[in-house]
Structure 1
Amino acid sequence: MSKSLQQGIKKYLQVLPNDEWYEKNKFYSFVPERTRKHLLAVFKGAKVSYKLFEGIQAENELMEMESRTQVLGYASVIELGVDSFLQQYLSNTPEFIKLTTGTITTKPLSIPTTLEKNVRDTLPNVFLHSSDAVVITKLKPVNIPWKKIRFENKVEVLTTNNVFSPKFSERVKHIYSARNMIHISAEIQRSKDITFDLSLAEEAERACEGTSIYLNKYIKENHL
C-alpha cells in the first residue's frame, strides 16, 4: 500500500463518527448493549471498507465487491435492529402475534365407535370434492421460530404500525433483497433485478441510518 494511500485512509478514519456521535444520535440505542457493540463494529467496518476500496480506485469486479461488502454490512445492521425493536416494542400487537404464531395438524383422529354406523361411514366423505381420501385432524397452535420468519414480513409489521413509512419500507426490503443476492446462485437467477454498484451501496447506507432514525422516533413519540 502506497504512503499516500495510507495517509488518505488515516485522514478518512479521523472524520468517521466517533463514540459521542453514536450516543448523541442514539444510533440503534434500543438494541441490548452487548449486541449493540457488535452492531456498531459491523457498521464502522462497512464505513472503513468503503474508503479502502475507494483508495485503490476500485473498478469493474472490484467495484461490485465494494458494493457487495457495503450491502452485506448495512443490511445485517438493519436486520439486527429490526429484530430487536419488534421483540421489545411490538410483541403484543396483533400483527406480531400473527407473524409468530401458526398451526399444525395433529395425527388423524379416529371416529368414535359410538356413532351410528351410517354416520361413521359417510362422515369422512362429507367434504370430498374429488377422489382423494379425507382424514379428520385437529389444528394445534404453535410458535413459529424467529429464524423462519421472512424479513419482508417483519418489515410489514413495522409499516402497519406506522413505524416505517410505506416508501421507506420498500427501500429497506430492497436492500435486504440485495443482501440475499450475495450468494452467486441467487444473483444469477435475479441479475436483472439488482445491480451491485456505488448507488446501491449508498442506498444501503442511507437505509441503515434511516432505520435507526425511524425506530428511535417511534420510541420517543410513544414514550417507550
Structure 2
Amino acid sequence: MPLPESTRAEVVNYALADLPGDLAWHVSYFDFIGDADLRGRIGQEFYAARCLYKLWEGLRIDEQWARQAQVQLQVQQYASIYEASVHHLLFVEAANEPIVQRLNEYRTLVERPLPGHIMDRIRRLDAGDANDIVGAVMATRRAQESKIRFDSKVAAAVELGMLDEALGEEVKGFYTARNYIHIHAEIRQTDFDWQVSFARDAYRRLEPFKSQVSSWLAMRA
C-alpha cells in the first residue's frame, strides 16, 4: 500500500531539494560522452544515485544492515558510471591508439600438428598421457571487449594520460568494491569495511574524473 500522496510528495521534494539540477542537468554533466544514448543512460544513473542517496539520508536508519545496503547500492551505481565512461573513452575516442588495440589481444597456446615421425616418438614414451600430447605454438588472439578486465582498461587510460595515476587507483577501487557486493564474495572478503564515506568518495571523484577526461579530449581536438 503506497504512502499518502501528501507524504510521497514531501519525500520526493526532500530528495530533489538540494540537487544541482533536474534529469537533463545530470545528463548534460557527461558532455564528454559523445554517444547521446549512452550519455543519457549514464546521466539517468547519476540522477538516480543522487536521489536515492538523499532518500537514505532522510531515513537515517542507524543500523549496520542499512548502512551497508546504502553503500552497496551507491557503489554499484557509481562503478557502473565509471565503467561505461572509461569503456567509451577508450574504445571510441581512443580506439586507434596502440595501447587500446593491445587490450583486445592476448597470448595463448594454439594446437599445431607435429611431423608424423616426431609424434611416433612421443607415442612411444613411457608415460601414461603420451597419447594426449599434442603440438602447440604461442599465438596472438583477440578478445571480446566485454571480456577485458576493468583494471586493464583503467591502466590504459592512465597510460594515455586520460586519468592521473591516483584517480585511476581510486576508480579501480570502486569497481573492485562492486564485485564484493555478491554475498559469497562479501563473506570471503572479511576485511572490507562498508563505510558511507566510501560511497561519498565515489560521488566526489566524479568531478576530477570529468575534469581530467575533458582536458584530455580537449588536447586531442
> Fold conserved (TM > 0.5)?
yes
Quote the residue 2:59 is aligned against. Answer: 56
Quote the residue 2:212 is aligned against. Answer: 214
Quote the residue 1:153 is aligned against. Answer: 152
Quote the residue 1:127 is aligned against. Answer: none
Which among 57, 71, 75 is matched to residue 75 of structure 2?
71
Offset at residue 179 of structure 1 (A): 0.9
Letter in 2 for 1:42: E
Pairing 1:86-101 to 2, within 5 Å after superposition = 86-101=90-105
Offset at residue 71 of structure 1 (A): 0.7
When the two structures are aligned, how many residues end up with a matched partner? 210
Mapped to 2, the partners of 1:4 and 1:164 lie a distance apart of 44
Q: Structure 2-normalised TM-score?
A: 0.82
Quote the residue 1:128 is aligned against. Answer: none
Q: Does 1:15 align with 2:4?
A: no
Identity of aligned residues (%): 25
Mapped to 2, the partners of 1:169 and 1:120 lie a distance apart of 50
What's the secondary structure of 2:111's corresponding residue? coil
Mapped to 1, the partners of 2:195 and 2:8 lie a distance apart of 22
Distance 1:28 1:78, change over 3 A: farther
Unpaired runs of 5+ residues, structure 2, are: 123-127
Q: Does 1:41 align with 2:44?
A: yes
Unpaired runs of 5+ residues, structure 1, are: 125-130
Larger relative contact order (Cα-Cα within 8 Å, sequence gap ≥ 6): 1
Pairing 1:127-146 to 2, within 5 Å after superposition = 135-146=134-145
Mapped to 1, the partners of 2:53 and 2:157 lie a distance apart of 30
Quote the residue 2:186 is aligned against. Answer: 187
Tell me if the contact between 2:26 and 2:46 (Cα under 8 Å) persists in the aligned partners. Answer: no
Which among 90, 93, 106 is matched to residue 102 of structure 1?
106
Letter in 2 for 1:137: A
Q: Structure 1-normalised TM-score?
A: 0.81
What's the secondary structure of 1:59's corresponding residue? coil
Higher mean C-alpha deviation, range 159-168 or range 86-95: 86-95
